[in-house]
Structure formats: structure tokens, C-alpha cells
Amino acid sequence: MTPEMFDSVEAYNATHPTSPFPAEPRARNVLRGYRAAMQGVTDDVTGTGSGASLTVDFLPGGAPWPDEADRVGTVVASRWGEGPVFVLAEGVSLRAAWEAVREAWPTHLSAVRSALETVDRIDAGKA
């Protein structure tokens, strides 16, 4: 199944106001996300045929650091903070999602999605 796609960060934000991508590109670039050792994750899922290099971001605010409180949010993939934006998981613990992806150390988007399948959705109001 192809992930939900938005043509731009603005289109994604309009539909996901509780897990926004920062509007300012510089703010997007400093989010703690997964970049496969700065090489990017190869797109082998979206059907664009591009094989593009993508980053995986944990919204809102990036993947929590160990000393930060966990958040419930959305995991997305994009072309280094630019559209299109692909939704990979919604309503998940961002810490659990980060740990699952980091442990798998995927280089392809299909492997990111497989890692995220191990993360349970959280009902609103919990966590």
C-alpha cells in the first residue's frame, strides 16, 4: 500500500495541524530525524519511480531526545524537508517510532515502513 502523499509541506500541515512540519526550511533541517548516515533513505515504495533520497521525520518537534518527554505524533518521509511528504505512521509514540527505526537502521523506505509496523498506535489523550 502506497503511503498517503501531500505535494507540499503546506498541504501536509493543512491536513495534520497537530503534527506539523515546521514552516521555515531552517527549522525543518534541525529536526532530529532519520537520515541513514546522511545518505538518505531510498524511495522504493511510493510508486514515483524516482528512487529518491528521503529523510524520515518525527512530528511534531522531531524524535525526542532521551531526556525529553515522549510525544504522540506522525512519522513522515520527504525529500529533505521539501514536498512531497509521505505519511508513514500516525498516532504513534515518537520515541518508540524513533527506536524502532534506529534499531532497524534501514536504507530503503520499505524497511522503514516494516520497522514502524512494530509500533502501536496510541489513543488520543494517552502518553
Which range of residues forms the domain containing residue 108? 4-116
In a domain, 124, yes or no: no
CA distances from 23 to 16, 27, 65 (A): 13, 7, 22
Confidence of residue 122 (pLDDT cuts 50, 70, 90): confident
Altogether, the residues listed in the chain come to a count of: 127
pLDDT over 60 (residue 126): no
The count of domains in the chain is 1
Q: Is residue 56 part of a domain?
A: yes
Q: Tell me the chain's radius of gyration from C-alpha atoms.
A: 13
Residue 21 counted as domain residue:
yes
- Identity at 10, one-letter amino acid code: E
127 domain-assigned:
no
CA–CA dist 98, 88 (Å, integer) = 12
Segment 21-45, tens digit of pLDDT:
998 989 988 899 999 888 889 988 8
In a domain, 126, yes or no: no
User: What are the two backbone dihedrals, phi and then psi, of residue 34, each rounded to the nearest 5 degrees?
Assistant: -105, 125
Rounded to whole angstroms, the Cα distance separating 42 from 124 reads 32
In a domain, 125, yes or no: no
Alpha carbon distance 98, 116 (integer Å): 9
Element (H, E) at 99: helix 94-104
Confidence bin at 16 (pLDDT 50/70/90): very high
For 64-74, write each residue's pLDDT tens digit: 999 999 999 99
Residue 97 lies in a domain: yes
CB of 43 closer than 8 Å to CB of 67: no
For the record, the C-alpha cell of 109 comes out as 523506505
Domain annotation covers residue 122: no
